[in-house]
Structure 1
């Protein structure tokens, strides 16, 4: 009975060892940097780096645009203030004379005479 138990114990240990060997091979293939999850992680890491660089470039562009828009807004506000002053100063100007002479009527143009049509066939027959 002891021998049978030892044989079963050795068979179980060999089965567990074989199972561990298979799992180790699968795990090695899974973590392979060329084809497995390692490759996917490497690709994702490279994409994260690229996106970080693109985000930094977009932020610097947005900052430059913000500064440019601030300058343009200041210039527009300054121009609006000057225009308001000009419009306010227009109220001080004298009004134009209201009794202006009416415009002279335009001379009538006579209609042209009706066109005259001639037949050249009669003159062609005389020439031949």
Structure 2
């Protein structure tokens, strides 16, 4: 009976060893930097760095655009207030005299009467 238990124990140890061997080969392929998940993680890490740089550049550009737009808005607001004052001051001016009707320099013949048309 002890002999059978020893054989089963040795078979179990061999099976566990074979399982560990297969598992180590799979893990080696899994963490390979060129073809496995390790390579994908390395590529994604580089892409995240590139995206964070692009995000910083976009943030700087948007800040600069915002500052420029705000300055232009303030300038336009000041000009609009000045135009309002100028338009309000035009209401105080007297009305300009209306120009005399112009005479047409071309001769226009009177339409013929029905008696002359016959």
Give 1:109 shift. 7.8
Please list the CA deviations of residues 73-114 of structure 1 after superposition, one character each: whole Å capped at 9, or x if unmatched.
Answer: 01100110110011011011111124x42111131389xxxx
Residue of structure 2 in register with 1:18 after alignment: 18
Q: Which is greater in Rg?
A: 1
**Once superposed, which parts of structure 1, at least 4 consecutive aligned residues long, lie more than 6 Å away?**
none
TM-score (norm 2): 0.87
Q: How many residues align?
A: 109
Normalising by structure 1, report the TM-score: 0.80
CA distance, structure 2, for counterparts of residue 82 and residue 50 of structure 1: 48
Quote the RMSD (CA, aligned, Å): 1.5
Output aligned runs, 1:1-128, within 5 Å.
Answer: 1-98=1-98, 100-108=99-107
Q: Runs of 5+ in structure 1 lacking a partner? A: 111-128
Which sections of structure 2, spanning at least 5 residues, go unmatched? 110-118
